[in-house]
Amino acid sequence: MKKTTNLLIMVIVSLFTTVAIAQSTITGTIVEVGSNLPLPGANVIEKGTSNGVTTDFDGNFSITTLEDSGEIVITYVGYTTKTITFSGDVTLSNVKMESSQVGLGEIQIFASLAVDRKTPVAVSTIKQEEIAQKLGNQEFVEILKSTPGVFTTRGSGGFGDGEITLRGFNSENVAVVINGIPVNDFLDGRVFWSNWAGIGNVTKFTQTQRGLGASKLAVPSIGGTVNIITETTNANKGGMFSYGLGNNGYNKYALKLSTGLTNGFSATIYADRTFGDGYVDGTPFDAFTYFAGISKKFNDNHKLVFTATGAPQRHGTRFERLTLQQTKQSPNGIRTNSDFGIRNGEIFSLSENFFHKPLMGLSHYWNIDDESKLATSLYYSSGVGGIIFDQGDGLDSSSSAFINNSLRLGDYGPVDVDQVVRNNSANRISNSYLIASINKHYWYGLLSNYNKTINDELDLTLGLDVKYGEYERFREIDDLLGGELVELDNGNINNPQNQLRTGDKFLFHTKTLLRIGGGFGQLEYDKDDISAFVAGNVSQTQYQREDLFLKTPSDPNRKTDWINFTGFGAKTGANYRVDDYHNAFFNIGYFERAPFPNAIWPTNDNDATNTEAENQKIFSLELGYGLRTDKLAVNVNLYNTRWSDRTETRNRTEQVQLPGGETADQQVFDNITGINALHQGVEVDFEYRPYNFLNLKGFVSLGNWKWLDDVDVVRLDENQVVQDEFRVLVTDLPVGRSAQTTAGLNLRLDISPETSFFIDYNYYDRYYADFDPSDRVLSQEDLNNQERIDFLRRDPYEVPNYHLFDASFRHNFKISDLDATISARMYNVFNQLYITRADDNGGTAAGAEVFFGPGRTFSVSTTIRF
């Protein structure tokens, strides 16, 4: 018995010893090649078993294997699978995962991506899988709505009419960069998302950097930067086909084909078509998206990457905002649109947007040696299109014309275009017609980054940023709606007819030219627990304007001299990794940038050049804290941005003396300097993963954005004699057009490895109507008029707070040997009534003119990959 007992003990000990010997512990950190961004949620599995773990928020993992030696397999969506052999305990340090997109890592050089716990900026990243799930038939900007500090809307509600603000700054002060190439309009800085309506379909990920950000462009932005990184070329041969449908006739077809990587060459093409009726009445749309990427690696030192994308589209729009009372009275409620009609029994858009703006880039990447790299990108973009809108009797949507109007099909109804055509045909002369505001522009430029690794701690980056562009604008007769001509004083000195036909130009025809040249430098330090940087930039911005309308070819002022502005900036910051869990950072910076051309020529006249326009001045300070554990990530950011000498002008009409004693009206302007704004606030966001199948994200943003001191303006004549004095009353008025309080919760539940369910909740409050601070003008004679002062100092109308819920579902399955996915989405699940845009008019709900957001909408899509 004793021998038996001893034998059993020896067997048990032997078994335990065998198990102990068989096990190994492997640890490491999984990051992306090039950017060194951590890859949280990557799968690490012991090959041939079901034993596996996922990486934490810093990309770290630790797996105890069942065998003493073997292989682990690392997978992550959008990246090439990596297999690593092990024997015994192994510490892998950084495991670099190659994107399945060839050349993607190199393109990220120009995008100046921020790295978690290293780059001292506030940043949020949304990857392709999440973009594809959330996008559906939303606007692209709406996938950013759960980002701290970001406020997005669908604008007027037409296809591609979305808008974004960042920390209270409108789109003209938010840089949008596609593969490192800035795409903001150089006339006024705005981004028209209808020009990029299909960009979400080819986006690999988007990174929103708030505040100063990590951008190395020569001309920085004020509010922050939205970095959009598109696909390049796929390393694997294959493709995909998808089809989606949604409310109001929404349909979308898409196809992608890739050659795969062979002898260093790969190519990918993508195309889709999207069309539908639109949620808002009379806003049909038809849009295409195309993308092409070609990559060629010649050797270990040289690679070329070419990308091209564009989105030609045409969609009905809604320009006129209604009062709350008008919306309530209209039978169609929040869908009401005054800017369309019925012609021959079909919808006929009286207001349309049509545009095509391709963007192409050719990038060369040169690994000079182990310590030096040079990346150079040449890019070109052009735009052709414009906006069509109605003009003349009976087509406007003012309170008096929108009801009891014989040209409309019922009160608040569409225009009876057939009746308009009959009237114009009978009269021969059109009293109601359509005009087009046309934009034709192109720009090309060069970005070049030289990076030198000085030693293990120091990196030096030097860059060049140059651009040239031309922007032609004019207005022309688009459709006479049955008439032969329209009698209109077109003001064209070169063709002074007052009987215009289709295609004739009127009102203005100008060309604005732009030249920008700049450079930047940045020194980065990274050792042990500290990373820091110091950076500077300088730029020369030049504008020139040619008037093809009011000036004859012989007029010396037909083309102005170049107007020059020198901008510069400096910023620094540091991040301290307190331990494996905590980090803290700061950044501080000051820069000046040139005003936009519409501030140089505010009255559309070369003779009225605003020579007193000044650089805008921006100072920003930010503090941040981060917490990272295995299951929880938290970020806290406090920011303070002061925007000084915002360019403002006040246009007015003045009578001037003409030769012979006659007088005439002339458009003149007042230059207003010293209007300043303060944007400060706190942002908190978190991500919690208590289990592999459950993920919870949330954020709260509390802003305090306001205009600062009143401004006194004195206008002098050429003899320095006072002509006029007035005061702009803006002290402590809240900044409008963006909700100053936002919050959100996002839940992802993986019901099975193939099936996931998502819920998104967003809350908006302290949202003030938009207004122009230069309209709050107190004249000299009203200095003691307290009633007038109180009226001008009123806060703008505050939009009621609102809550929005979205829900979606995704299921992966097989069709024969092909992978497939079906996704279903519902937006505004509870059909919340809310105002998405408001313009102030007296500070009251009764006076405000508004757009309402869409009610409950949905989309369903299926994708098959081959």
Per-residue pLDDT, 58:
79
pLDDT-above-90 percentage for the chain: 66
pLDDT-above-70 percentage for the chain: 92
Question: What's the rounded Cα separation, in Å, for the pair 339 and 225?
Answer: 34
Which of residues 724 and 269 earns the better pLDDT score? 269
Q: 417: part of which helix (H) or strand (E)? A: helix 417-427
Compute φ and ψ for 449, nearest 5 degrees.
-125, 125
State the average pLDDT over residues 505-516.
94
Least confident window among 36-45, 351-360, 389-398: 389-398
Question: What's the rounded Cα separation, in Å, for the pair 381 and 134?
Answer: 28
For residue 663, the SS3 value is strand
Whole-number average pLDDT of the chain? 89
Q: Which of 795, 781, 813 is CA-nearest to residue 705?
A: 795
In the chain, the domains with their CATH numbers are: 2-97 (2.60.40.10), 101-230 (2.170.130.10), 233-865 (2.40.170.20)
State the average pLDDT over residues 754-766.
97
Provide DSSP, 538-581: EEEEEEEEEESSSS-TT-TTSBPPPEEEEEEEEEEEEEEE-SSS
State the average pLDDT over residues 832-838.
96
* CA within 13 Å, CB half, 312: 4
Question: What's the rounded Cα separation, in Å, for the pair 445 and 465?
Answer: 8
Check: CB of residue 183 under 8 Å from CB of residue 175: no
Tens of pLDDT, residues 783-800 = 899 999 999 999 999 999
* CB-CB neighbours of 142 under 10 Å: 20
Per-residue pLDDT, 18:
44
State the average pLDDT over residues 445-469.
94
Residue 561 clears pLDDT 70, i.e. is over it: yes
Categorize the per-residue pLDDT at 4 as very low, low, confident or very high, splitting at 50, 70 and 90.
low
Rg (CA), the chain: 30
Per-residue pLDDT, 544:
96
For residue 664, the SS3 value is strand
Least confident window among 139-153, 398-412, 496-510: 398-412
Per-residue pLDDT, 607:
85
Question: What's the rounded Cα separation, in Å, for the pair 773 and 705?
Answer: 14
Question: What's the rounded Cα separation, in Å, for the pair 122 and 637?
Answer: 7
Per-residue pLDDT, 268:
94
SS3 of 757-806: the string is EEEEEEEEEEEECECCHHHCEEEHHHCCCHHHHHHHCCCCCEECCEEEEE
State the average pLDDT over residues 285-309.
94
Amino acid at 469: G
Query: Cβ neighbours of residue 691 under 8 Å, at least 6 residues apart?
Result: none
Per-residue pLDDT, 655:
64
| Predicted TM-score (pTM) of this structure | 0.89
Per-residue pLDDT, 686:
97
Residue 60 clears pLDDT 60, i.e. is over it: yes
Q: Output b/e per residue, 371-406; b: 16+ Cβ within 10 A.
A: eebbbbbebebbbbbbbbbbbbebbbbeeeebbebe
Question: What's the rounded Cα separation, in Å, for the pair 680 and 80?
Answer: 42
Residue 398 clears pLDDT 70, i.e. is over it: no
Question: What's the rounded Cα separation, in Å, for the pair 838 and 615?
Answer: 30
Per-residue pLDDT, 664:
59
Query: What do you get for the CA distance between the two ends of the chain, in Å?
Result: 66
Question: What's the rounded Cα separation, in Å, for the pair 401 and 465?
Answer: 51
Tens of pLDDT, residues 209-230 = 999 887 777 677 889 999 998 8
Q: Output b/e per residue, 214-233; b: 16+ Cβ within 10 A.
A: bbbbbbbbbbbbbbbbbbbb
Residue 12 clears pLDDT 70, i.e. is over it: no
Residue 188 clears pLDDT 90, i.e. is over it: no
Check: CB of residue 563 under 8 Å from CB of residue 596: no
Per-residue pLDDT, 464:
94
Question: What's the rounded Cα separation, in Å, for the pair 122 and 636?
Answer: 9
Check: CB of residue 394 under 8 Å from CB of residue 432: yes
Residue 190 clears pLDDT 90, i.e. is over it: no
- 697: tokens are 């994200």
Residue 705 clears pLDDT 50, i.e. is over it: yes
State the average pLDDT over residues 165-187.
90
Tens of pLDDT, residues 611-658 = 888 899 999 999 999 999 989 999 999 999 999 988 777 777 666 655
